[in-house]
Structure 1
Amino acid sequence: MNTDDLPRWLLVAALTAPILGALPAAAQSEQADEVRTYDTVVVTAQRREESLQDVPVAVTAFSADQLEKNSIETVQDLALRTPGLTVGAADPINNNFALRGIGTANGISQSAGGDQSVVVFVDGVYAGRGGTVDLDVLDLERVEVLRGPQGTLFGKNAIGGLIQYVSRKPSDEESFFAKATAGNYNKVDLSTRANLPLSDKLFLAIGIANKQRDGYELNQTTGNRVNDQNITTARAALRFVPNDELDIVLRSDFSWQDQLGNPRTNNCDETFNGGVHCVGVNPDPRVVNAYIDGYIIRNIQSYSAEVNWESGFGTVTSLTALRDVDYKFRTPFFSNPVNPPTQIESTDFGKEEATQFSQELRLAFDAFDTRLQGQLGVYYLDEQIDRRQGQIQDFPVPSVTGIAIYPQSISASSFAVFGQFDYALTDKLTATAGARMTWEEKKGDFQAERLQGPGIPPPLGSAAGYDVTGSEEWEAFTPRVALNWDASETMMFYASAARGYKSGGFQGLAGTAAGASTPYDPEFAWNYEIGAKTEWLDRRLTLNAAIFKTDYEDLQISQLIPLCCVVVTNAAKAEITGVEIEFIGRPSDNFQVDGSYSYLDAEFTEYLVPGSDYTGNQLPRAPENKFNIGAQFEFPIGTWQALARADYSWADDAYFEASNVPQQIWAAHENIDARLTLTPPDSPWEFAVWGKNLTDELTPTYVTYFGPYRQTLVPYAPPKTYGVSLSYTY
């Protein structure tokens, strides 16, 4: 071991030694003849409630209690503890997910005509644009991460997998919760929520949260701390249960966010061969030199109505939803006013208004004494997206400013019919067959206009702009077949084959009129998988594993053209193989060890672009090895009860782009989190001390490399943070 690594390993040892040291005593305190039954998380990975251990799908699930004990606040925290999942971010709002090597390039996910390959559902509603708020401000019952294509029951763009947030439904139990958190960077979080039975048939749940902190970086030019946080979220849900057959839930969510931007750090060390913009720049990666701070403003409103009716045919579910997102941003990304005579100031700016309406209707039924369980459904989605994006470039010699804008207006619709059937061939063997047929259309207006100066030239080499339209229709058939064998009460094995689909789209920021009006095609992936869900040692050890192979076709690849644009083409094929293991060990009732490991071999089997052959390269954001391990121990301190937990995660080298150039490597990185919770006897109060990224690892969330200028621009994940939380539960 290199002595440079010694402090971090000492910290890991210091955090885990008290927990591990308590293991023998804790284990001896158990009575030999006592057997405790441990409940598993209930999930809806197949659109019906099932134990996690009974679902023939690779799922990582976190209950509300696990989210709290693991200090999981964001999707980045979720990724640290989920095999095969990585999350990059070009800014604090637009996350780029990759699951089992299947992800979306930054240029695609941020254009009006592009979609994510790993999608988010909130209470069954597809969250297509604008991202979602932090997990800890939602009144969640659980979070589920489904790995691999989910093309049958979920369908919409879930070619890599999906993340599903499930909130608590209002109930007849009166409850109240309040929490206050204070931490470094002047962090102050306040949240409260309540469940109020209005009658024996009508229940209301409400909540509001506010999160504020100073920025993680200092803009040396303006003197302000940037990449700060200022967000308020409110939720309300009304549930009406008039009888045993009908259950109606109306939900509404609101989020307001207004904060300074995150100007890019110029990475100017020798590793990246610092370019002309690096002269005079502060070498501290947490200090930026930008002529302005920029800003991020986002408003999200969502409304949904879920109706469940127990009819004579089965359970009929109707889910109607409306989601509206307004988003504005201004980001200086190629900037250094320290040495203005030798460089260009570049600023990205824009706004987006996205409205989404969806309607889903499902029938869940069983027949033949429940040997057959099935679901049939139809789904409709309509999206209206207006995005106005532009760039400003200030040229020092001669002193001129170029401004170009790219208005984009997209109208997209998707209609699907689907069904899945599980038939018990024997008491232990069940066969599954399902399919989804999807019809989609996208059409849009695309413009490029140079407002002044040299700016970004649309089209290439010309001062003229363009104003064009484009439209395309696609259809996709995405089947799934599976066989699962209940070998015993504690062992289930499955094998499956499933096809996934991701919509085609338009480039948005195109350098030519032809490029703007020409769509790129959908992606498709076939996934073949065998897996096991097992429990051992009187269910004190849960051990799940999956082995898979994915054939991935027509990958949508984005290529950055310096001083122009992002070009998207269906340029590649890939093959992905991998292994995933998850475990939870409970040597005693008050001690737990849990973790996961994933191995990923994800490479392009065909990827040719003019002048380059990237065949054999590693897929972006696909580390070969990734693991996490956590330990928690409950113990008394006098009359108080304490819970100590530590989590360690590590991910192998990866790349942010398909070209695999060393300047865009995502170097191997680690993370250590810890939490100590104290609860007085018979008290509704709880006190917690927590720390995250305790080794202060400097981890990029995205890397943009401008080869001709030897320039690398990097936003970073949060530094070391720590604080205290006080909560009250009634």
Structure 2
Amino acid sequence: MKEQRTRSMWLVSTAIISGLGALAATPAWAEDQPAAAQAQADEAPAAKDGQVSDIIVTATRREESAQRVPVAITALSASDLQARGISGTNDLQFQVPGLQIYSTQVGITNYTIRGLGNANNRSSTADGAVGVFVNEAYIGRPFLVNTDFMDMERVEVLRGPQGTLFGRNTIGGAISFYSTKPGPETRAGGEVTIGNYNQRDAGAFISGQIAENVYAKVAVTTRNHDGYNYNTTTHTAVDDQRMTGVSAALRFTPTSNLDITLNVDTTIRRGFGSWWIDWVRGPYSGAPYANPRSGNGANDNGFGNINNTGGSLNIGWATPIGDFTSVTAYREGKLDSRSPSTGTMPAPPGPPAVNSDLSNILFTQEDDYRTRQYSQEFRLASNNDSPFKWLLGAYYFHEKSYHTGIVDFQFNNYYGYTGRARYDSVGTTDAFALFGNLSYNITDKLKVQAGLRWSNDHKESTETASGQSYGAGFKINGVSAPGGFTANGAKTFQAATPSFTVNYQATPTVFLYATVSKGFKSGGFNDVSDEKFAAETAYLPEKVWNYEAGFKADLFDRHARLNVSAFRLDYTNLQVSEVVPAYAGGPNLVVIANAGKTHNQGIETEFQIFPVSNLQFYGNFSYQDSKVDQLSMVVSGVQLNQAGNKLPLVPKTKWMIGGAYTFPMGEALDTTVRAAYSKTASYYGYITNNPLELVPPQSDLTASILFQPRDSRWNVELWGKNLENKLNITQMFQIFNASYAKLGVPRTWGVTVRFKY
């Protein structure tokens, strides 16, 4: 049956490609354009002329047009980021098919692509399935990625396993941020934003030459807003933000063949904790709030404080034997996050009457992290005009993380059951990899590629559990251990991940490809375990085979673009968040477990259309059909077969459509009106598919009006997001037969003034 489904997927993909290839061969699309000229197409003039623009990307570790790389990729230039109102990482999820971004705690951001994501970021040895890179440097912890988009050159989101070239933990895909390099041209710019919720954002940069062959850039940003939700117990608005970031770059080009750039940055973020609400009432819930964003919560607002600093040294050297690249990176940071379940307490604070159905549940979770990481990557790529090209590389990554998890609990339905559990852990990762990629142009249009990466990840974990467990008590090999325990675990995970690709340039503007690749994400340890043996036992690495085919077409003299990819992913030991009761009838624990066999298949599309001058439409669509093929789990003490369930965090459909129109207002002013609407279908928060953890559909309507005086260096934009003020939910969990929801951002609006020199 599995083979039949795989064959069916390939037949569909082949039919799509073959049909387009035949259509692309018609004379209407056969206008020839020099490849070099197309690859160097300037984005601004192309957009002004009403044509789709080329963006040069490094998805294959070489500079190529995004329309000529055999990868499902969404590339957004600086002008795209500004025009679509993308001011932070969370805004990307509406622009990329198959991408989900959500957060359960301040600083703990989860990224999933095609159903592969972060199983549980609490552990000091847990890894994500979507690699995040800043100027080619891998960032191992989500709270270290406070990327601000001030003077960002481009963002590339690669979908599907990228394990051959991009390295560790890119089994789902990779998100790469590239800041603009300083150069001989003097550039400067800034922007100020004022909006509701007392939003006060400002940023500025300056870049240019400071000596012969030496260039520098400095950027400063501050982003602030009051809380989106209100705790009437403390009379405080929570889910707020106060953030300041500084980045700098120093570039040295002693010769035309050598380019050395040092990037450094630091970020400080402060704010209160997250807001959760009682979404589906349970037997121990009080009356629901009249306003879901305001109510009597805990008498502790919590906090989310982040400090991170780091940088990278990027060296590019064109030698007679090939282009040499070195990326040396270091980053350290700390996160103090306390989530007091603010918003989940509709019952009055304090113990209820004995045997009362109305009960106050207080469950406060605090996570404190200290981490530092170092990485080194070397690459050597051929740079001749031969039809045969090669790339070789080596990679090393070291990380040491300290994690303190604290749980304060007061479950009054178990009258007087209260206490504190504490888990202190240290996790160390040493990862090493060798990789290579070969390609051969069989003809001017047909190319084949093959790549291989060998990965070796060694992880060590130490957990010390103390205090009072809110479960059945701490245990050592099943025996009660009231004083807690110290557990030590170590494990090495190895894998070889190949990739095979064939691509065909059917016409100068129609590109077809097919890929088979394997992805790998190493295992790790649960470091908030109540049982010593469980803390010492590693969960398994996850692996996936990806079968994919697609096309990229620029149509009608490049007045339209249509990119389509069809894929099937077969997972083994998919790492998932498993919600298990601490004891029979008790509160739930979230741990990492392995699903036996699962799969996901679907199709993704992106389009742009310029029907007439100054008018454009753009959008994307994704369809995913996921299923658990083999998995048994213990739920409430009963062994249940989970086969047939949907994968968590995988909406069946997700789409976005937007448009923009530019028109003159008088003789001195151009005005651009832009709007976009996105819709995400419902999905389950966890693999058990509990109806109480079904996240409802979400939607987002954004719009803006930009006023651009002609021959001027400044502009003014009025904008709004979530204009319908939808009560979007990003994640759910259930406890005591009630479900609790993390709310998304409400309606926001404001005005932004920009200046560039």
> Shared topology, TM-score over 0.5?
yes
Segment of structure 1 superposing worse, 710-719 or 45-54 = 710-719
Name the structure 1 match of 2:447: 430
Query: What's the CA shift string for 1:495-541, capped at 9, x where partnerless?
Result: 11010001100011112000100001100000011110111100111
1:724 aligns with 2:751: yes
Name the structure 2 match of 1:13: none
Name the structure 2 match of 1:622: 650
Structure 2 CA distance for aligned equivalents of residues 616 and 539 of structure 1 = 44
Structure 2 CA distance for aligned equivalents of residues 300 and 509 of structure 1 = 24
Instruction: Tell me, yes or no, if the aligned pair for 1:172 and 1:200 is still in contact at 8 Å.
Output: no
Structure 1 CA distance for aligned equivalents of residues 469 and 484 of structure 2 = 13
2:105 counterpart SS class: coil
Instruction: Tell me, yes or no, if the aligned pair for 1:137 and 1:233 is still in contact at 8 Å.
Output: no
Structure 2 CA distance for aligned equivalents of residues 329 and 208 of structure 1 = 25
Name the structure 2 match of 1:113: 125
Name the structure 1 match of 2:395: 379
Report the CA distance shift for 1:111/1:711 in structure 2 as closer, same or farther (over 3 A): same
1:44 aligns with 2:55: no
Query: What's the CA shift string for 1:22-79, capped at 9, x where partnerless?
Result: xxxxxxxxxxxx9876431111111111101100100011111001010012333211
1:701 counterpart SS class: strand
1:157 aligns with 2:169: yes
Structure 2 CA distance for aligned equivalents of residues 472 and 264 of structure 1 = 37
Structure 2 CA distance for aligned equivalents of residues 36 and 215 of structure 1 = 41
1:684 counterpart letter in structure 2: R
1:131 counterpart SS class: helix
1:715 counterpart SS class: strand
1:102 counterpart SS class: coil
Q: Superposed, which structure 2 residues align to 1:101-180 within 5 Å? A: 101-105=115-119, 108-132=120-144, 136-180=148-192
Correspondence for 2:72 among 58, 65, 71: 58
Name the structure 1 match of 2:254: 242
Instruction: Tell me, yes or no, if the aligned pair for 1:402 and 1:455 is still in contact at 8 Å.
Output: no
Q: Percent identity?
A: 34
Report the CA distance shift for 1:184/1:456 in structure 2 as closer, same or farther (over 3 A): farther
Query: What's the CA shift string for 1:248-275, capped at 9, x where partnerless?
Result: 00010110011111142222xxxx2334
Instruction: Tell me, yes or no, if the aligned pair for 1:557 and 1:572 is still in contact at 8 Å.
Output: no
Report the CA distance shift for 1:35/1:676 in structure 2 as closer, same or farther (over 3 A): closer
Name the structure 1 match of 2:42: none
Correspondence for 2:409 among 393, 397, 404: 393
- Measured after TM superposition, the shift of residue 464 of structure 1 is 3.2
2:653 counterpart letter in structure 1: N
- Measured after TM superposition, the shift of residue 281 of structure 1 is 5.3
Report the CA distance shift for 1:704/1:283 in structure 2 as closer, same or farther (over 3 A): farther
Q: Superposed, which structure 2 residues align to 1:557-576 within 5 Å? A: 557-562=576-581, 563=587, 565-576=589-600
2:534 counterpart letter in structure 1: G
Query: What's the CA shift string for 1:78-112, capped at 9, x where partnerless?
Result: 1112111111211232121111122223xx22211
Name the structure 1 match of 2:672: 643
Structure 1 CA distance for aligned equivalents of residues 89 and 326 of structure 2 = 28
Report the CA distance shift for 1:410/1:387 in structure 2 as closer, same or farther (over 3 A): same
Name the structure 1 match of 2:556: 537
Structure 1 CA distance for aligned equivalents of residues 170 and 274 of structure 2 = 29
Name the structure 2 match of 1:199: 211
2:255 counterpart SS class: coil
- Measured after TM superposition, the shift of residue 401 of structure 1 is 4.2
1:78 counterpart SS class: helix
Query: What's the CA shift string for 1:92-144, capped at 9, x where partnerless?
Result: 32121111122223xx2221121111121111111111435565544211111
Name the structure 1 match of 2:16: none
Instruction: Tell me, yes or no, if the aligned pair for 2:685 and 2:731 is still in contact at 8 Å.
Output: yes
- Measured after TM superposition, the shift of residue 343 of structure 1 is 2.7
1:229 aligns with 2:241: yes
Name the structure 2 match of 1:82: 96
Name the structure 1 match of 2:40: none
Segment of structure 1 superposing worse, 65-74 or 335-344 = 335-344
Q: Superposed, which structure 2 residues align to 1:243-392 within 5 Å? A: 243-267=255-279, 272-276=280-284, 278-280=285-287, 282-288=289-295, 289-333=297-341, 335=345, 338-340=348-350, 341=352, 342-367=359-384, 369-392=385-408
1:77 counterpart SS class: helix
1:577 aligns with 2:601: yes
Instruction: Tell me, yes or no, if the aligned pair for 1:209 and 1:232 is still in contact at 8 Å.
Output: yes
Structure 2 CA distance for aligned equivalents of residues 136 and 443 of structure 1 = 33
Name the structure 2 match of 1:16: none
1:380 counterpart SS class: strand
Instruction: Tell me, yes or no, if the aligned pair for 1:218 and 1:287 is still in contact at 8 Å.
Output: yes
2:746 counterpart SS class: coil
State the number of aligned residues: 686
Structure 1 CA distance for aligned equivalents of residues 472 and 361 of structure 2 = 12
1:160 counterpart letter in structure 2: G
Instruction: Tell me, yes or no, if the aligned pair for 1:582 and 1:596 is still in contact at 8 Å.
Output: yes
1:489 aligns with 2:508: yes
1:595 aligns with 2:603: no
Structure 2 CA distance for aligned equivalents of residues 143 and 475 of structure 1 = 30
Q: Superposed, which structure 2 residues align to 1:680-699 within 5 Å? A: 680-699=709-728
Report the CA distance shift for 1:558/1:123 in structure 2 as closer, same or farther (over 3 A): same
Name the structure 1 match of 2:18: none
Report the CA distance shift for 1:453/1:129 in structure 2 as closer, same or farther (over 3 A): closer
Q: Which runs of 4+ in 1 moved over 6 A?
A: 453-456
Structure 2 CA distance for aligned equivalents of residues 682 and 308 of structure 1 = 37
2:340 counterpart SS class: strand
- Measured after TM superposition, the shift of residue 384 of structure 1 is 0.2
1:702 aligns with 2:718: no
- Measured after TM superposition, the shift of residue 285 of structure 1 is 1.4
1:714 aligns with 2:728: no
Segment of structure 1 superposing worse, 126-135 or 420-429 = 126-135
What is the RMSD computed on CA atoms of the aligned residues?
Answer: 1.8
1:715 counterpart letter in structure 2: K
Name the structure 2 match of 1:26: none
1:377 counterpart letter in structure 2: G
Structure 1 CA distance for aligned equivalents of residues 286 and 99 of structure 2 = 37
Name the structure 1 match of 2:685: 656
Report the CA distance shift for 1:359/1:284 in structure 2 as closer, same or farther (over 3 A): same
Instruction: Tell me, yes or no, if the aligned pair for 2:662 and 2:672 is still in contact at 8 Å.
Output: yes
Name the structure 2 match of 1:666: 695
Structure 2 CA distance for aligned equivalents of residues 65 and 425 of structure 1 = 37
Instruction: Tell me, yes or no, if the aligned pair for 2:692 and 2:738 is still in contact at 8 Å.
Output: no
Instruction: Tell me, yes or no, if the aligned pair for 1:291 and 1:335 is still in contact at 8 Å.
Output: no
Correspondence for 1:72 among 62, 65, 86: 86
- Measured after TM superposition, the shift of residue 633 of structure 1 is 0.9
Structure 2 CA distance for aligned equivalents of residues 664 and 167 of structure 1 = 38
Structure 1 CA distance for aligned equivalents of residues 687 and 580 of structure 2 = 14
Instruction: Tell me, yes or no, if the aligned pair for 1:527 and 1:548 is still in contact at 8 Å.
Output: yes
Structure 2 CA distance for aligned equivalents of residues 167 and 566 of structure 1 = 37
Query: What's the CA shift string for 1:209-228, capped at 9, x where partnerless?
Result: 11111000001110000000
Structure 2 CA distance for aligned equivalents of residues 293 and 252 of structure 1 = 33
Structure 1 CA distance for aligned equivalents of residues 612 and 329 of structure 2 = 45
Report the CA distance shift for 1:594/1:347 in structure 2 as closer, same or farther (over 3 A): same
Correspondence for 1:440 among 448, 457, 461: 457
Q: What 5-or-longer segments of structure 1 have no aligned partner?
A: 1-33
2:55 counterpart letter in structure 1: V
1:477 aligns with 2:496: yes
Q: Superposed, which structure 2 residues align to 1:460-539 within 5 Å? A: 462-539=481-558
Report the CA distance shift for 1:679/1:454 in structure 2 as closer, same or farther (over 3 A): closer
- Measured after TM superposition, the shift of residue 697 of structure 1 is 1.1
Name the structure 1 match of 2:570: 551
Instruction: Tell me, yes or no, if the aligned pair for 1:408 and 1:446 is still in contact at 8 Å.
Output: yes
Instruction: Tell me, yes or no, if the aligned pair for 2:520 and 2:543 is still in contact at 8 Å.
Output: yes
